[in-house]
Structure formats: structure tokens, C-alpha cells
Structure 1
Amino acid sequence: MMNTGKMRSVRSMIAASCVGLGLLAPMATQAETLADALVGAYNNSGLLDQNRAVLRAADEDVAIAKSALKPVLQWTGNLTQSYNRSVSGGTSTIPAGFRSSTDSLTTSVNLVASLLVYDFGSSRYSIEAAKETVLATRETLVSAEQQILLRAVDAYMTVIQTQQLVSLAENNVRVLTQELRAARDRFEVGEVTRTDVSLAEAELAAARSNLAGAQGDFISAKAYYKVAVGREPGRLSPPPSLPKLSNSIATAKALAVRQHPDILTVQHQVAAADLLVRSNETALKPNVSVQGSYGLTETFDSQASTRSGSIGFQIGQTIYQGGALSAGVRKSQAQRDAQRGNLHVVVKDVERAVSDAYAGLASARAQIEASQRQVRAAQIAFDGIREEASLGARTTLDVLDAEQSLLDARSARVSAQSQLYVAAYSVLSATGQLTAQDLKLPVQIYDPSAYYNMVKDGPTKYSKEGKQLDRVLKALQKD
């Protein structure tokens, strides 16, 4: 019985191979296709929902950064009850021991507005850094999309392959049952010994055990499919032909370096880190703001009231804050250097992934050719040995060994075909082409800029745009 974990890793990206395998019966016209599975994975993925929510949070960071350059309006209210009790020590007009009391209830309302006028570009750098972070998060979403679609292909082909292995195991049980029956008949007429019958019985028991294991793998594959695609597998049709791939590894590497989402993510992170360095450096300089206020004070037990207002410019600079500002600059510089180093690492990893995928593709093609020759030879050998055994020229053990060799050859062919498609779709993933848009899936492609355009200017909750945004967020909520 094939190891399930190894079997899955081998089938990771298979999308079309079993057409030439000839081991599956023709599917009905309504059979589920690979495209159906990919659509299901795209529409039902919790990982995609998670990363889309992370992207929306990054979009909001742009609005938050922009708010530093917008007016800040605040109000405060105050209600004060005052009590005053006094006893006179005596004067020319007030006798000693005279007691007096005054009570007052005062209320005040103040409105304060402020606006940052100039900060040497610190806020602008922060806004641009937030935008770069949004772009990086969008590429992270694309990377997650590739993972989801890759897993869907893996799940689809896992079901097909395990189903084929069950079919092979069932056929093996039928053949060995016939061999056991033939061995017993020959034993009855004295053509073979009891040992031959026992050998046939042992091989049949092993075949039944292998069948049970294959059936268990098939059940596991269907559960895996449900997790990856979002529903139970129905009747799966053979996958389509292999995707078109470049024959040049160098060309594929160049394409991957230009468009792979992992590389683009880090490039935007490097840009964001560099902008944050500039923002922290300019934060050491003065900033200029304009401030205005208006206040109203009313005393309830008198006619007294006060109205006041002011407007003015303020310039200020932090001279010393325990070294925090300088440490912040050095920290941002270190983070920028770390991102630059990470970019080199990711580029090398992507290039190596492309090389590995093409190496796997070439290896799988060679294995398919070899396994097909192995199946043909094993079939001829099995037919010949079984015929010779019927004439007494071969033993039961020879027949059983030939049957096992044929089963192994057929299983190897299934695995080799699976490996071919694993490698083919690995190339698409390694070059950044395994997306719903590249595969032309019939789905509503998620637009990452739609939410950004709604929130980038920070609409208030009670504005027309804010109310529209609330409806969008409510629609995005899932139970």
C-alpha cells in the first residue's frame, strides 16, 4: 500500500494526466471537471477570506496615515457646581461671626480645531509607506490564491489517483481469486502441490489487504477534497491537457523574477521600509500647525456668560526624548536592511523553485515513458507465464510473481502520470501564473482596489460614503 503522505506530495499539481492512462471508465457529461474544482476552491476558501480581510486592514492604514494631514476637530463640555462657605472675623461693616454662602452652577463648551501645516514631509512619507504596504499585501493575497488553487488541483488528482489504485487493487483480487481457484483445481488432479495452493492463498490475502488500504486512502482523499474545494467530490472527469509551458528554464526564471507574487511582495516591503526611514528622520525636525478654539461659558444663577475664541500658529520640535527618536530611526534602517536581504533570499528561492519544477517535469516524462514500456513488457510476461503454467512449464509461484510485477508496473504508471502534472502545475506556481485570472476560471475575480478606493480618503461613519461602506462591510460578513 502506497504511503498517503508521499502520494499527496507526488500529486500536488496534477491537472490532466489520466486522459492517456486508460484506467478510468468514460465519465458522464455532467461529471465534475478540474475547472469546477478550482472554482469551488476559489469561492469557498477560508484562507482567501482571511487574506482579503488582512488586505482591507492594510487599506485602512492608508486612510489613517492621511488623517495626519487633515483637520482635527474636538469638543469638550464641562458642568461645574461650586460651593463657598465663609465666617467673617469682623470688620467695620460686617460683624464677627457673620456667615455667608455662595453657590454657582457653571457650564462650558469648547470647540478646538488644529491642522498640521508643515512637517518636512514626515506624514507624506508615512502615507506612501502605507500605500506600499497595501501593494505588498495584495501580492500576498495572490500568493495565497496560488496556494489554494494548487491544493485544489492536488485534491482533485488525489481522488482520481486513489480511485485508480482501488480499481487496480480490485482487479488484482479478482485475478488472484481465479489463480487460487485454478491452483486448487490443479491440486485436485495432482498437477501441483499443497504448497502452490498455500502460495496462492497468501497472495490473495495480501491483495485483499492492499485493497483495504487503497480504499482507506480513497476515503481520505475524498475528505481532503472536501477541505480543499468546499464540497464532497462527485464523479470526476479526467483532467484537461497539460498547460502550455515555456521550454526554456532561463525564460521561465526571468518571468518568475518579474511577476512572482512572493518577489513583488518583498519589493514593496523594501520600498515601504525605505519610506519609513525617511519619515522617522524627518520626525526629528520641527513641525508647524495652526490651531483655533471657541468656547462658551454660562453661569446658571446669574446673567454672567463668556464667549471666547482664538486662532494661531504653533511651531515646535522635540529636542530630547530619552533617545527614542534616534533609536526609531536606527530601528527603521535595520528593518529596511533586513527587507533588502530578504529580497535576495526570496529571488534565489523562486529561481530554485523554477529549476526544481522543470527538473521534476523532465524526470516525470522519462518515468512515464519507462513505465509504459514496463507495463507492456509485464503484460506480455504475465500472459506468457500463465499460458506456460497451464501447460505445466511454470509454477504457481512464477504466475504470482508475474501478476505482482504487472500490478507494480501499472501502479508505477499511475504515479508517473501524476508526477508529470505535479511538475507542470508546479512550473505555473513557480512562475506566478497559477491564478484564477491566468487560468481563465469562470469566477468573479476579486478586485483588491475596490475596497481601497472606498476607504483611502477616510470617509466618516455618517457620511454618504461611510453609510455605503457600512453596507459593503455587512455584506462581507460570513456566519
Structure 2
Amino acid sequence: MRRAALIAAVALLASPSLGQATTLEEAIAAARAYNPQIRAAKARAEAADARLDAAKGARLPSVGLAGEYLSGRNDLGGFFGFAAANVDPRSARLELSQPLYAGGALSAGVDQARAGQAGAQARLIQADDELQVAVARAYAGVRAAQTFFEASQAQAKAFEEGARQATLRFNAGEIPRSDLDLTLARKAEARAGVAKAQGALAVARAQYAALVGAEPVALEPAPDDGALPSLDEALTRAETVSPALKAAEAGVRAARAAASAAAAQGLPSVSLAARAEQVRDQFFPGYRSDAVTVGLQGRWTLFSGGRVQAAKSEAAAGVRAAEAERDASRAALKTAVIGAWSDLQASRLAATAAREQVQAANSAVESLRQEVRVGQRPMLDLLDAQRDQLAAVARALAAEGDVTASARQLAVLTSTAPASRP
């Protein structure tokens, strides 16, 4: 049989791929440029910027120009001594309006739009954080699936050789029929395992491509510096930088601004108005008027059938709901940080144990191979040991992937991920 076939496959866990390699940070950068969710979040952030500009513009003066030109016939029936005549009524009007007081509605509109802008930006960062974790999982999944597929192929070849030797020994009368049948069963099991591993690799590559927008090429091992902040430090940092919490706090500010806008509906509004108007041929032939007016315009709704009070009650309830959502977001953040911190610690310990288990399985296989060669142990014992060896490889690969995903999860929660924010 091929000597140490699985050991060579397991070595892929710790060695970079040859050729043009892709790092985890490069995969995340590609996903940022491709991912539809990130593009949608950026578009929503841009829309929020536009809403803020519109809200600020509502406090500035507005200038409008209106005019008309008509042509027809006017018959005044001799009134004022005018007989029927053709007329071309036309007018031009220039108007300026400057809000002076709106009961706080304009300021509330700006505050609400500014909170919406902050919330949209925070949700963009949150979407980016979620994408980073998803890419890290997919990246680790492809590496694990690729390595396990190659290890499964190596095992299948080893079992093919074992079945060949068992057939020769059975024909020579050295082993019973049951040993041969069990060896052939192990070979069939290994071939089925290769097919299953190949399918898992195809799924892992498809998941990666769906996130990154490109097929995985020579993925390098994701670095892990082994750093782990204290839990208290991680919690403090997360509460300071968390985009989810910032989005929730922006929601509270927006709800309070909406409450101020609702209250303003019951208050008067005053604006400065100026108009310059020119009218010709409007009421009778030869009519002429040039006017310039400046003054104040006001409006105050004294009775609205309870609509203003209902709007105020609805806005007050919205504030309470936003505050509750903020509190829930803070609690969820604490749970997420504790979970990520604990997962990373446990995953590193599990990965170390899994690597030790692989080393022990490799040593056992080598020892059994020598014992089988000199006739001290049956071939089935070696095949079973190789099957255990592959299972140890699978556990090691899963543990390595968990470390990559957990490390990225904790990094984005505490804003220490090496990739830049959008």
C-alpha cells in the first residue's frame, strides 16, 4: 500500500497552496465588490444621505417662477365701454418663501433624517460584518472539503491495495473468506466516502462562489495569531463599536424626532413671503398690472378631529418601541460576544486536541502497517485504523474551520477585523 497516504493529505491543513493563492482577506474584498446585499445596503445609505439633504433644504428659502400665456376673445357686453375684442392674457409671477417658524417640525425633520442616515450607515457596516463571517465560514469550508476529499481519495487507494493483497492471501489459503469479504466491504465503503466527499466539495465551492462571485482558487490557510482579549475587554469594545447597537440607537433618535414632528402639527407655522407679478391683457383689452408684495404667511390648525393627538400618541408609542428594541439589541450583543469569545476559546482547544488525535492516528497506522507486514496483526486491523485516521482528519478539519469562523466573528463584533470597513 502507499505509505502514509493520509498523512500527506493532512499536511494540507497547515501548508499554503502552490501557484496563485487566495487569502481570506482577498476573498472578503472580492465579496464586498460582488455581494448584492452589500450593494443594496450601500444604495440605502445613499438614499438616507439624500433624505438628509432634502430635510435640510426644507429650512432654506424656496423661489418659484410661474407664468401663462393665453389667446382668445373677450366680450364685456359694453361694460366699462368695452366691446368685444381679441385678447392675449399673460402673466408672470416670481415668488419667494422663507420658513420662519414651524413649531419645530423642520428641525425634527432634519433630526429624523440625520438619525436615518446614521442608522443606514450602521446597517451597511453590520451587513459587511455578516458578510465577513459568512465568507470566513465558506472559505474554511472549501479548504476543509478539498483536503478531506483528497484524504478520502488517498484512503480509497490504500483500501484498493488492501483488497488486492487480501485477495491474494485468500487465494493462497492464508485468510478465511470472511476476512476477504470484510476487506472488500471496506473498499466499497471507501469508494462511497470519496463520492460523498466530492459532493460536499462541490457544495462548499458553490457556497463560496455565491458569496464571493468567483470560484475558489488555491485558498491559503487563514492566519490565527492566537490572541484572545479578556471577556470584559471584548464586551466593552463591542458596545462601543457595534453597528447593530448604533443602528438601534439611531432608531431611538429617529423615533424621538418623529414625536417632535407630530407635536408640531398642533402648533402654528409662519413664513416670510415675497411676490413680484406682472399681468397684461387679463380682464379687458389693455389691462396692465405690476405689483410687488412682501409679508408674512401663517397657518394654525385649531381643530383636527383628534388627528393631531392621535399622531402624538402613535409617535410616543414608537419611541417606547425603539427604546425597547435598543435594549434588546444591547442584550443580544452581549450574548453574541460571550458566545463568540467562548466559541473561539473552545475551538482552539478542540483544534489542538484534534491535531494531536491525527498524529496519534498516523502513528497507530504506521505501527499497524509494520505489524501486518510481519504477520502479527490481520489486514482488517490496519484498514480499521486507517478508517479511524480519516475520521480524525475530518474532526481536525472541522475544528480548524471553527477557529477561522469564530475568530472572524469575534473580530467583527469588536471591530478588530483586519479588513477595512465600507
What is the identity, as a one-letter code, of the residue corresponding to 2:251?
Answer: Q
Counterpart Cα distance in 2 of 1:126 and 1:358: 41
SS in structure 1 at match of 2:297: strand
Task: Report what 2:65 is aligned to.
Answer: 75
User: Partner of 1:422: helix, strand, or coil?
Assistant: helix
277-286 or 173-182, larger mean C-alpha shift: 277-286
Q: Structure 2: any 5+ residue segments left out of the alignment?
A: 1-8
2:110 aligned partner: 127
Alignment CA distance shift 1:108-1:402 (3 Å)? same
Superposed counterparts of 1:79-478, under 5 Å = 79-83=69-73, 101-242=84-225, 244-246=227-229, 248-299=230-281, 302-434=285-417, 436-437=419-420, 446=422
Specify which of 43, 51, 58 is matched with residue 53 of structure 1.
43
Is residue 372–residue 379 contact of structure 2 (8 Å, CA) maintained in 1?
Answer: yes
- Structure 1 contact 142–435 (Cα < 8 Å) conserved: no
Q: Secondary structure at the match of 1:59?
A: helix
Once structures 1 and 2 are overlaid, which stretch shifts more, 21-30 or 418-427? 21-30
Question: How many Å apart are 1:27 and its aligned residue?
Answer: 2.9
Deviation by residue 1:124-153 (Cα, 9 ceiling, x = unmatched): 122122112211211111111112222222
- Relative to structure 1, is the Cα distance of residues 275 and 243 closer, same or farther in structure 2, using a 3 angstrom cutoff? farther
Q: What is the CA deviation profile of residues 361-402 of structure 1, one whole-angstrom value per residue up to 9, with x for unaligned ones?
A: 232233223323322333333334444444544344333322
Contiguous gaps of at least 5 residues in structure 1: 1-19, 89-99, 438-444, 447-479
> 2:31 — aligned with what?
41
Return the alpha-carbon distance in structure 2 between the equivalents of residues 382 and 87 of structure 1. 119
CA contact (8 A) 1:81 1:105 kept: yes
C-alpha contact (below 8 Å) 2:137/2:404 kept by paired residues: no
Shift in Å at residue 229 of structure 1?
2.0
- The answer (yes or no) to whether the contact 2:86–2:285 under 8 Å persists in 1 is no
What does residue 453 of structure 1 align with? none
- Compared CA separation, residues 124 and 241, structure 1 to 2 (3 A): same
Residues 120, 282 of structure 1: 8 Å contact kept: yes
Q: Deviations over 1:316-362 (max 9, x none)?
A: 21112232222221111111111100011111111111111122123
Alpha-carbon offset, residue 86 of structure 1 = 9.1
- The RMSD of aligned alpha carbons is 2.5
Work out whether 1:32 is the aligned partner of 2:12: no
Selected match of 1:23 from 12, 16, 22 = 12
Structure 2 residue identity aligned to 1:278: S
Tell me how far apart the structure 1 counterparts of residues 139 and 399 of structure 2 sit (CA, whole Å): 16
The whole-number CA distance in structure 1 between the counterparts of 2:223 and 2:366 is 33
What is the identity, as a one-letter code, of the residue corresponding to 1:349? A
| Greater mean alpha carbon deviation, residues 54-63 or residues 389-398 | 389-398
Write out per-residue CA displacement over residues 99-141 of structure 1, whole angstroms, 9 at most, x where no aligned residue.
x744433122222222111223321122122112211211111
Q: Structure 1 101/435 Cα, relative in aligned 2: closer, same or farther at 3 Å?
A: farther
Deviation, 1:85, is 6.2
The 1-side partners of 2:74 and 2:103 are apart by 52
How many residue pairs get matched?
A: 408
Q: In structure 1, the residue corresponding to 2:301 is in which secondary structure?
A: coil
Verify the 8 A CA contact 1:290 1:313 in the aligned structure 2: yes
State percent identity of aligned pairs. 25
Give distance in 2, aligned partners of 1:286 and 1:125.
15
Partners of 1:68 and 1:422 in 2: how far apart? 47
Distance 1:249 1:26 in 2: 32
Q: TM-score, normalised by structure 2?
A: 0.89
The separation in 2 between residues aligned to 1:379 and 1:427, in whole angstroms, is 33
CA contact (8 A) 1:146 1:435 kept: no
CA contact (8 A) 1:261 1:432 kept: no
Deviation readout 1:251-290 (Å, 9 max, x if unpaired): 2111111111100111122122112212321332112111
Is the CA contact 2:111–2:253 (under 8 Å) kept in the aligned structure 1?
no
Residues 382-423 of structure 1: per-residue CA shift (max 9 Å, x gap)? 334444444544344333322211111121111112212222
In 2: Cα distance, 1:336 partner to 1:87 partner: 66
* Contact 1:243 1:424 (8 Å CA) reproduced: no
Please say which of residues 254-263 and 313-322 is displaced more in the overlay: 313-322
Amino acid at match of 1:60: A
Whole-Å Cα distance in 1 between the matches of residues 260 and 243 of structure 2? 26
Distance (whole Å) between structure 1 residues aligned to residue 214 and residue 400 of structure 2: 26
Q: Which amino acid aligns with 1:283?
A: Q
Does the residue aligned with 1:117 lie in a helix, a strand or coil? Answer: strand
Q: Is the 8 A contact 1:150 1:434 kept in 2?
A: no
Q: Which amino acid aligns with 1:284?
A: G
CA distance in 2, matches of 1:392, 1:21: 28
